[in-house]
A = this chain, B = another copy of it.
Amino acid sequence: MKPVAPQIRIARPPTGSDVARAAGVSKSAVSRAFNGGLVSEDARARIFEAARLLKYRPSLTARSLTTNRSGLIGVAITHLDNQFYPEVIEHISDRLREEKYRLVLFVTQGATDLEPMLDELLGYRLDGIVLASSSLAAQLATECRESNVPVIMFNNIDPQGRAPGVTTDNAAGAAQIARFLLAGDHRRFAIVTGIADSSTSMERCASFRETIAAAGLPEPARVSGEYSFEGATRATLELLRGKDAPDAIFCVNDHMALAAVQAARTAGREPGRDISIVGFDNVAIAAWPAFALTTYAQPVRQMTDNMISRLLQAIDGKPLPDETVRLPGRLIVRATARRPAGVRTDEEGVDYWEG
């Protein structure tokens, strides 16, 4: 005994065949019409009209099965509370939209396992992957490459240079900050670092120390701010407590520098007058009047442009060399650090220092 009524089905999106039927052509004609193939004006017109009527949109899922392209780029990112990353996401998103790719976002937790992460990243046949600021980024990168998915690292690179990546020239930046502070007559330096295994933190830290050492001054004190606001607050307070408190603190990123500025005030020291604090990133908040943070600006736009271009090339089959591109930034001078001579102003009224 069969059911009398046909099964009620949810209205399904129209397919290319539906359009073909309505327009009186074959599926292939429809496909060609939507992909810039050869179709007569006449047919093309009928096809688009039918498509419009039926509200047809090609299923990108089905398409990706045959083209072997998903149109999806994965972006793995942490520390969304650090304003730098939302800014990065906006830039990436802009570029990707221009290039007709969609952005699949993976907000990675602090300590995640590698495997589940990989299942997520590799299960979808993402066309490419951007690894920004994840602590397991370097490991992820090698795994993904084994699976033949183009990967590129952003702002946090593989220290051994075994994966393609883009960063600001951290060494140059940190060295310039050190020279700036030296020129400002500071003598007792300290560094608030990020998490231990962060390449970014290590590079900036190392270069800063070298420059200070080269000037013949004592080794800067170092405390980890763990890349968090609270961590940096604690770190700064700890640095300020000692009798040999520093007269200049370099925070490895702005997120922590902003915490440091406030911590210093809490401790009764006004940055720029009683103590100098310099950050790295030049996030939007750094320019806020409440902070006026002196900081080294990362060229975010250029970094994302370079990264996406290279990634797309790799997707198009051009092999991506394991090269780390290091782009130069600029030291933006505001008010949280004593100003040495040589500060200049650009056309837009921004003060900067080139040593």
Contact = CB atoms under 8 A, between A and B. Distances in A.
Contacts of A70: 61
B107 A89 contact: yes
Contacts of A85: 86
Contact of A123 (B57, B90, B317): B57
Interface in A290-316: 290-291
Contacts of A13: 122, 125, 147-148
Contacts of A17: none
Contacts of A285: 285
A62 interface: yes
Given A61-B64, A105-B103, A122-B57, A10 B148 contact: yes
Contact of A61 (B55, B61, B291): B61
How many chain copies? 2
Contacts of A125: 13, 59-61
Interface in A122-155: 122-125, 146-148
Interface string A48-79: 00000001011111101100101110000000
A229 B85 CA distance: 18
A148 B90 contact: no
A134 to B, nearest CB: 13
A195 interface: no
A10 to B, nearest CB: 6
Interface string A246-263: 000000000000100110
A261 B290 CA distance: 9
Given A102-B104, A266-B289, A90 B86 contact: no
Contacts of A104: 72, 102-105
Interface string A90-107: 100110010000111111
Given A148-B13, A290-B291, A124 B93 contact: no
A64 B59 CA distance: 11
Interface in A144-196: 146-148
A289 B267 CA distance: 12
A83 interface: yes
Given A10-B317, A102-B104, 6 more contacts: A10-B148, A12-B148, A57-B119, A57-B123, A65-B65, A102-B106
